[in-house]
């Protein structure tokens, strides 16, 4: 299982290459996936749109 920094680095490579969408499958340790997605977004320094 990859760590957040490893996943974030792989996603960032795609973004740096011009991707505006990158698909990831997150399998959290708990039932709620939202905290895992928020942690990954924070690792990528992403902000909510709005």
Which tokens in the block code for residue 48? 């909510």
* pLDDT at residue 44, as a whole number: 92
What pTM was estimated for this model as a whole? Answer: 0.75
The CA distance from 4 to 25, in Å, is 12
C-alpha pair distances (Å), 19 with each of 27, 28, 33: 23, 25, 24
pLDDT (tens digit per residue) in 2-47: 888 999 999 999 999 999 999 998 888 778 888 888 999 999 998 8
């Amino acid at each position: 299982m990859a760590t957040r920094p490893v996943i974030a680095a792989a996603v960032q490579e795609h973004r740096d290459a011009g991707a505006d969408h990158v698909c990831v499958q997150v399998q959290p340790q708990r039932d709620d996936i939202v905290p895992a997605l928020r942690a990954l977004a924070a690792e990528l320094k992403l902000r909510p749109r709005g």
